[in-house]
Structure 1
């Protein structure tokens, strides 16, 4: 991606976030833009770094481990978030590499992350809710959320908020509104919701983190 193109895309997305926040009487600065760089190589990522982006999201531990240590050497203030599913046997690697994990969705993963955090690193954790009750998606069933949050807090995980991916092809606003209500009821401030096609709706309904890939990088090959 040419440097000018990267800067223009980043500026445009930030402006759209700011406008959506204004309509909801919010400050756009309160919404973190997570640039989802999964399946994009360092050559595609560097222009966004040069344009001022400092928060990136990856779906897989192994892919992130292969490309981000070198990228972060020259820009140490980059934050890296895991936005994809996490296997329990990768918990230690994830804790070592990421600054936040958006996909905590089951007791076995809570236990694995708690053990991994005994080493001292404590990335923020978002509990993922299967907000549309879709069997093919990760996330904690809605009815199981209180028990999972209790387990995460008992394990002393740094629970920052909730995350969801609403069903595709359906108006997302009711799902975002439900997640926001669940977060309020649980006393959680963080809401990781909204992607390239619906992040403005998510912002109007309280998103604190939006996960934007295609709108920043273009379509993946």
Structure 2
């Protein structure tokens, strides 16, 4: 637990410094701890020291983990951050409150059906594809506004903004600036869709400098091996 807390403290300090350097408050940034490949006990330990948002990318792992955490009496917010198969939408959204990877019309249809009877709207981010590979997950930047219009017309969804992952072969600041530019365009269509989910363990400080409001951090907090 002490090692886990020390890693969390280091990340928290870096988030605070990055926010301050950008003229922002730490309160402007939501830390989502990516808990994939780690057991429910790690989530419970982090919840004990103040973490409330957790990210998962595989429903078959996340669903029983969420159930175990709930059974232990802890209330946390689950973010689904990975590619979601349309046939898994109903299952994944039974415990997730935020979907970061809405990236295609067929998934939008499945998500719309899955949340039709939900008491509260589902918060969603549109995922961008910042590469030239059409087969990768995400919407090409030139198609964002058209897709956003479809999202806005779907009942029981609340469009938060955009999500993106910086490429491995580019300066992450270039891609984060591209996300910010797309975000500014999106806000002309949907002023409330002002949030940006970007930045992981290796690059979250650059993401915050470019306007990220949600950072998805795994190994910098959880460690490189299963907890």
Q: If the TM-score is normalised by the length of the shorter chain, which range does it land in?
A: over 0.9
SS of residue paired to 2:112 = helix
Q: Distance in 2 between matches of 1:137 and 1:34?
A: 23
Alignment match, 1:209: 214
Q: Distance in 2 between matches of 1:195 and 1:136?
A: 22
Aligned length: 219
Could you tell which deviates more after superposition, 176-185 or 66-75?
66-75
TM-score of the aligned structures, taking structure 2 as reference length: 0.91
C-alpha root-mean-square deviation of aligned residues, in Å?
A: 1.5
Deviation of 1:33 after TM superposition, in Å, equals 0.6
Q: Distance in 1 between matches of 2:61 and 2:129?
A: 24
1:190 lines up with 2:195 in the alignment: yes
Pairing of 1:51-130 with structure 2 (within 5 A): 51-121=49-119, 122-130=121-129
Q: Distance in 1 between matches of 2:71 and 2:8?
A: 22
Deviation of 1:72 after TM superposition, in Å, equals 2.4
Deviation of 1:94 after TM superposition, in Å, equals 2.0
Alignment match, 1:158: 158
TM-score of the aligned structures, taking structure 1 as reference length: 0.94
Deviation of 1:74 after TM superposition, in Å, equals 3.2
Could you tell which deviates more after superposition, 130-139 or 65-74?
130-139
Q: Distance in 2 between matches of 1:44 and 1:117?
A: 29
SS of residue paired to 2:94 = helix
Structure 2 unmatched ranges of 5 or more: 188-192
Q: Distance in 2 between matches of 1:189 and 1:94?
A: 25
